Structure formats: structure tokens, C-alpha cells
Chains A and B, each alone.
Chain A
């Protein structure tokens, strides 16, 4: 087997710093901490195993996200839904206070709760575009869907979030 040392080293060295973001993406995909742990672990194992297929110098985080998405869609979601009845446990997801003022912390918790309550397809589009900085085209390519679908998912997500979160929290 062709052994791509450069690719393998970049993957081995690069996974750990990306891991918190990878886990976060897995949490958004699965909606459940236990599944996020399992999925993130599966992605890392698969990435290490397939490291020779990684193109050095390209974006490792996006390669890992693609593996996560494909693993979730093609292999793991079926089992997760089967074992849980398809119910994501949104209430168990909580975050530490990171801001000095309590209001900002409450708002952050509320925003997270509402994003996580979105349908899976919408919350994945939201995290890719608004948190991970994907362009519409990049998100469409990553999820293998038309760009119009990304637009409608983001639009639907924004409408729901606007309805749930009060006007005072909105900043232009």
C-alpha cells in the first residue's frame, strides 16, 4: 500500500487541536452527547485509518467534518434513531458561563437551546455557515445538496429562531 507520510503526519498532528470543534459538530449532528462522543470517536478512528487519502495542505477540519457527516448519515443515524426512537435529548446540553455579565450567558444558553431544537438539517446548515464560516457553496458541496436547499434551510432556521428569541436579543 502506498504510504503517504506527509498526509498521515498532518492528520495525526492535526486531529487533536480540531477535536473540540469536531465534537461540537457531532453534537449538532446527533443532538445527543453520548452519540456525539461515539461519532467523534468513530470519525477520529476512521480519519487515522484513512489518513493516506487526505491531501496535505488542504483543510483538515473540513475533511473531518465530511467524514462525520457521511458516517452519521450512512452508518450511524439509523442505529441511533432505532435505539432512541429518534428523540434528541436537547435538555441535557448545557454550557459554562464565559461572559462577565449574566445576561449574555443566559442569552447564549437560550440561543444554543433554540438552535439545537431546530430540525437536524437546519441546525447543521446553521453551524456550518454561521459558526464554521462555510460559504453557501461550500456548505452545499459538503452536504451534497443544491445551494437552494442550503438557502431554504437557513431561511427556515432564521425564521424559527426569530420567532423564539425575543426582539431585545437581536442585534443588527
Chain B
């Protein structure tokens, strides 16, 4: 018999996989009893699961050793995770695993202050900054004061990267005893955006990455001297564009 049936490949594959909640299993079973075409289609879609299992089982055996990948004796260091992270980072750098891994370590290490900055920034509204209208001299003095804490020099010109982002004020904060400079901006549509800077604790360079945090978009990177985070309730493309400009300017 060669009766035509209109089962989709998705339905037939679900049938083969035993996912009967997602396919008309009874209809397929009934049709298989009298349709050579359907039997042929099913055979064509049948997967050699034994060969798949052999292949991926063998692949497990090619996995690198856990301790080798982590660079240290994990068990011995597991109790003191802070030490472990430092040792792992140093070991990995020593192994020369390259910028890719370096940027990963950097991202993990920075998670702590990212979270705090995001939580603080989430409290900002348009009105937090809308009334701030300092003149250039006041701004320069303020920038000089806060950036001195980082042994850096940031001028007002460095912060004028886009006509849609207006610098408002700089604050000196602290994270785990380390100075953290927060430079606050308002976007042209009134969204508060902050550029936060901390002195880098290593010389690792981390490329610019973005992530959503506290329902805001953020970008973070490091030039090896300073770690940066730009955050605000704007679009990812906008935050990336602003962050790229800052990374080239600072």
C-alpha cells in the first residue's frame, strides 16, 4: 500500500524518540500498518543511536584532565575559594592560555563589583541627575578630585563621546576598600547611565563584553590598568556604542 500521509518530519522524529505528547502517535502507528511510504520515511529518519553512543562515549575519553584544566589541585584549595581563584588565575596565565581564557577569568573576578554597581545604579532615576548643572570649572575640579584617587587623569573632553550622552557628575565610592569612581551621565531621552572605574588588580586586558544585569544593559572591559563598567537602562547597541567610544578615549 502506498497511501499518502501528511505527517511532518518533526512529528515522525518525535514518534521515533518516544515523545508521544508531541506527536499524533496513535495515528502514526495505525498508518504504519498499511503504508510502505510512511515506513520508508520513518526508516530514513531513524538514527543509529548505538553509533552515536559509541562516538560520544569515546569523545569523553579525549577530555582533558580536570586538574590540568583548572591548573591547580582543586581539592586542596576548595576550602579557600578566594585563594583558589587567585592560584587558578596565576596558573592559567603562566600556562599561557591566551586572551580568551584571560578574559574569562577577568569576567569572573569582576562579578562582585559589577553586582554592587548595578544595584546602586538601579536606584537612579532621571530626576536624580536632571537638576545637576555644574559649569566646566566645577566639573574639571570634581574630575580632578575623583580621578586622583585612581592615579588617573580624566578630563571633561574624555567624557564627551556622543551628543546623546551628557556628563553630569562624578562621585568617589568604595568597593572592598578600593576606590571606585562613578561618572554619571544622562542620555538624550533622560536615562541615567554610569561609567564606573576601578584600578585593575592585574595587568590582564579584557575585551569589551556586554550583559544584562538588574534589568539594565552593561558593558565591561579592562585595558590592563583600569577595569571599566558602563551601565544604564538603554539598549544593548547603545551601551556597546558608548562603551566602545569610552574604551577608545580613556
- Over the window 94-119 of chain A, the binary record of Cβ atoms lying under 8 Å from chain B Cβ atoms (1 yes, 0 no) is 11111100001101111110010000
A104 → chain B closest CB, angstroms: 6
Are B60 and A21 in contact, with the CB atoms below 8 A?
yes
**In the complex, chain A residues whose CB is within 8 Å of the CB of B60:** 20-21, 24
**Bound Cα distance from A152 to B11, whole angstroms:** 9
How many residue pairs link A and B with beta carbons under 8 A? The number is: 168
B174 → chain A closest CB, angstroms: 18
The answer to whether residues A49 and B62 also contact, given A115-B55, A155-B13 and a CB cut-off of 8 A, is no
**In the complex, chain A residues whose CB is within 8 Å of the CB of B70:** 41, 44-45
> Is residue A12 contacting chain B, with contact meaning CB distance below 8 A?
yes
Within 8 A of A (CB), among B1-43: 8-10, 12-14, 17, 19, 22, 43
**In the complex, chain B residues whose CB is within 8 Å of the CB of A42:** 101, 104-105, 107-108
Contact-residue bracket for chain A? 35 or more
**In the complex, chain B residues whose CB is within 8 Å of the CB of A108:** 51, 54-55, 58
Within 8 A of B (CB), among A118-172: 127, 129-131, 135-136, 147-148, 151-152, 154-155, 158-159, 161-162, 165, 169-172
Nearest A residue to B42, CB-CB: A172
**Bound Cα distance from A44 to B101, whole angstroms:** 13
Interface size on B, residues (CB 8 A): 54
**In the complex, chain B residues whose CB is within 8 Å of the CB of A41:** 69-70, 92, 97, 101, 104
> Is residue A61 contacting chain B, with contact meaning CB distance below 8 A?
no
**In the complex, chain B residues whose CB is within 8 Å of the CB of A58:** none
> Is residue B63 contacting chain A, with contact meaning CB distance below 8 A?
yes
The answer to whether residues A45 and B108 also contact, given A79-B207, A155-B10, A170-B43 and a CB cut-off of 8 A, is yes
The answer to whether residues A24 and B111 also contact, given A136-B17, A170-B48 and a CB cut-off of 8 A, is no
Question: DSSP class of A's interface residues: helix, strand, loop or mixed?
Answer: helix
**In the complex, chain A residues whose CB is within 8 Å of the CB of B64:** 23, 37, 40
> Is residue B123 contacting chain A, with contact meaning CB distance below 8 A?
no
Are A112 and B56 in contact, with the CB atoms below 8 A?
yes
**Bound Cα distance from A109 to B47, whole angstroms:** 15
**In the complex, chain B residues whose CB is within 8 Å of the CB of A38:** 97, 100-101, 104
> Is residue A88 contacting chain B, with contact meaning CB distance below 8 A?
no
B200 → chain A closest CB, angstroms: 19
> Is residue A15 contacting chain B, with contact meaning CB distance below 8 A?
yes
Are A98 and B63 in contact, with the CB atoms below 8 A?
no
A16 → chain B closest CB, angstroms: 5
> Is residue A60 contacting chain B, with contact meaning CB distance below 8 A?
no
> Is residue B44 contacting chain A, with contact meaning CB distance below 8 A?
yes
**In the complex, chain B residues whose CB is within 8 Å of the CB of A34:** 100
Q: List 14 A-B contacts (CB under 8 A).
A: A12-B78, A19-B63, A38-B97, A41-B101, A48-B81, A49-B81, A79-B209, A93-B59, A95-B55, A96-B58, A96-B61, A130-B47, A136-B17, A155-B8
Query: Chain A: residues with CB nearer than 8 A to chain B?
Result: 12, 15-16, 19-21, 23-24, 27, 34-35, 37-38, 40-42, 44-46, 48-49, 74-76, 78-80, 83, 93-99, 104-105, 107-112, 115, 127, 129-131, 135-136, 147-148, 151-152, 154-155, 158-159, 161-162, 165, 169-172
